[in-house]
């Protein structure tokens, strides 16, 4: 009798995706065994990426001030979240953060700019920053800046931008439940403009926004159709004051199943653990390194995340390796021996300590 998990792995090595019905079962069927599923997803991950983990550092270079109503985002125009709004940071501050990211071992530095999309003038300003970073530091560069036309994309492509992030977030059928100021088609148009102009698209989804299982599956297959090489897996962070704060569907196991499903549908893509990984995957977070080969450290757009040291320790403890870059001093992050969660606290319990 054929092992169904081995069959999934072998099909992924041939770049054959599971069927949509099989994907739905991977997410919902209580009979799915989690560890065999994780191992099946690891087979194509290991084949294409070995045991390396790409690390990404995100700089929220402009916060708030956005005319869109994306209900999951604390920067949207209708959110009541208590955030500080600020215009775009100065070039030197952005460059200094790029240097720090490179020295910390990041494979890629991500600059996020809030808003519907850049003006041509802003695109040219970003192009200047891209050229400077590429000249100074051995690190890849990604910008998340909203909707783009061919004109904007060409300006950034000519500057040498590696990737541009624009998430689909959810399926076309569910899109108007989370945003009304632009359409799902607008997002597809941006991804296609990037590809036409030679910039790699980075696009993923957010799970836990009231969608159905088939909505998650639809996004996985749309990303496959678009041949997106970099897929962030976000799990909705319940930020107080946002219109969309969670549907109660997310458990650590469901999140891990979703990451495995995404890997099996997109076996050659970089699958990244992104927003909400710490709070939703929790104690299963380390298992997500078997299907995923990439993650963010030091937080997201408006919320904090695990620090570099804590994340690197998890990666090393699991037998994986930070991919890094030529500026990265690997040995400083290899901390062996006994360790508790808070190194600042005394080892002995307070009631027994003299």
User: CA 128, 147, 303, 226: dihedral to nearest 10 degrees?
Assistant: -100
Question: 3-state DSSP helix/strand/coil percent for the chain, to nearest 5?
Answer: 40, 15, 45
The mean pLDDT value for 130-155 works out to 97
Q: Which residues pair with 283 in a beta bridge?
A: none
Identify the band that residue 43 occupies on the pLDDT scale cut at 50, 70 and 90: very high
Query: Are residues 220 and 266 in contact, defined by beta-carbon separation less than 8 angstroms?
Result: yes
User: What pLDDT is recorded for position 255?
Assistant: 98
For 264, the 3-state DSSP assignment is helix
Percent of the chain with pLDDT over 70: 97
Identify the band that residue 336 occupies on the pLDDT scale cut at 50, 70 and 90: low
Q: Which residues pair with 55 in a beta bridge?
A: 295
The pLDDT of residue 301 is above 80: yes
Q: What is the mean pLDDT of the chain?
A: 95
**Angle at the Cα of 308 from the Cα atoms of 107 and 325, rounded to 5 degrees:** 25
For the chain, what are the domain ranges? 4-333
The pLDDT of residue 212 is above 90: yes
Contacts of 354 (CB under 8 A, 6+ apart): none
The pLDDT of residue 217 is above 80: yes
The mean pLDDT value for 311-331 works out to 89
Alpha carbons 156 and 307: distance in angstroms, whole number: 30
For 234, the 3-state DSSP assignment is strand
The mean pLDDT value for 90-110 works out to 96
User: What pLDDT is recorded for position 349?
Assistant: 84
Q: What is the pLDDT of residues 265-300, one digit of tens each?
A: 999 999 999 999 999 999 999 999 999 999 999 999
Identify the band that residue 1 occupies on the pLDDT scale cut at 50, 70 and 90: low
User: What pLDDT is recorded for position 338?
Assistant: 76
The mean pLDDT value for 80-102 works out to 96
The mean pLDDT value for 199-224 works out to 98
User: What pLDDT is recorded for position 350?
Assistant: 84
User: What pLDDT is recorded for position 333?
Assistant: 54
The pLDDT of residue 342 is above 80: no
User: What pLDDT is recorded for position 347?
Assistant: 82
Identify the band that residue 334 occupies on the pLDDT scale cut at 50, 70 and 90: low
- Say what the pTM is: 0.94
The pLDDT of residue 337 is above 80: no
Which CATH number describes the domain made up of 4-333?
A: 3.20.20.70
Handedness of CA 195, 127, 204, 4 (dihedral sign): positive
Identify the band that residue 232 occupies on the pLDDT scale cut at 50, 70 and 90: very high
């Amino acid at each position: 009798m054929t092992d169904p998990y081995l069959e999934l792995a072998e099909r992924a090595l041939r770049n054959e995706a599971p069927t949509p019905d099989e994907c739905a079962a991977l997410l919902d069927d209580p009979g799915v065994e989690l560890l065999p599923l994780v191992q099946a997803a690891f087979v194509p991950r290991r084949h294409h990426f070995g045991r390396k983990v790409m690390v990404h550092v995100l700089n929220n270079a402009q916060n708030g001030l956005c005319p869109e109503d994306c209900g999951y985002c604390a920067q949207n125009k209708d959110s009541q979240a208590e955030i500080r709004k600020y215009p775009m940071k100065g070039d030197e501050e952005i460059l200094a953060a790029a240097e720090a990211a490179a020295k910390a071992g990041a494979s890629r530095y991500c600059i996020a700019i809030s808003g519907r999309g850049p003006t041509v003038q802003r695109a040219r300003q970003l192009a200047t920053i891209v050229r400077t970073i590429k000249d100074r530091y051995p690190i890849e560069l990604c910008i998340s800046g909203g909707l783009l036309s061919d004109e904007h994309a060409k300006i950034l492509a000519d500057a040498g931008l590696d990737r541009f992030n624009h998430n689909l977030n959810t399926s076309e059928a569910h899109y108007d439940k989370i945003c009304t100021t632009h359409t799902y088609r607008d997002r597809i148009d941006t991804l296609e403009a990037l590809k036409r102009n030679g910039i790699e698209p980075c696009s993923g989804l957010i799970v836990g926004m009231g969608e159905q299982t088939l909505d998650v599956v639809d996004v996985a297959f749309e990303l496959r159709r678009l041949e997106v090489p970099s897929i962030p897996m976000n799990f909705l962070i319940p930020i107080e004051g946002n219109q969309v704060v969670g549907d109660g569907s997310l458990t650590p196991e469901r999140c891990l199943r979703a990451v495995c499903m995404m890997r099996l549908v997109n076996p050659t893509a970089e699958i990244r653990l992104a927003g909400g990984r710490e709070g939703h995957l929790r104690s299963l977070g380390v298992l997500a390194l078997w299907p995923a080969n990439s993650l963010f450290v030091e937080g997201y757009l408006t919320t904090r995340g695990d620090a570099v040291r804590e994340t690197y320790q998890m990666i090393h403890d699991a037998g994986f390796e930070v991919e890094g870059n030529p500026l990265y001093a690997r040995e400083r992050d290899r901390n062996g021996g006994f360790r508790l969660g808070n190194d600042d606290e005394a080892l002995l319990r307070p009631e027994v300590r003299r």
